[in-house]
Amino acid sequence: MAREQQQGGPARRQVVKFTFFRVDPAWRRLPAEERERTKSELCAAVESYGDRLLIRSYSLVGMRGDADFLLWQIGDRLEDAQELTTAVFSTAMGPYLSVPHSYLAMTRRSIYVPSASLPPGSPGGAGLGGSGDRTGFGAQPEWAIPIGSRNGSLSSPVLDWSSSWSRSITRSRRS
Domain layout of the chain by residue ranges: 2-108, 144-175
pLDDT, mean of residues 89-117:
85
Domain boundaries 2-108, CATH class: alpha beta
This prediction's pTM: 0.60
DSSP annotation of 110 reads: P
The answer to which of 3-7, 39-43, 155-159 has the lowest mean pLDDT is 155-159
Cα angle, residue 34 at apex, residues 59 and 87 outer, rounded to 5° = 60
Mean pLDDT of 119-130: 48
Greater model confidence, 59 or 10? 59
The Cα 48–Cα 54 span in angstroms is 11
Of 114, 131, 126, 136, nearest in space to 56 by CA: 126
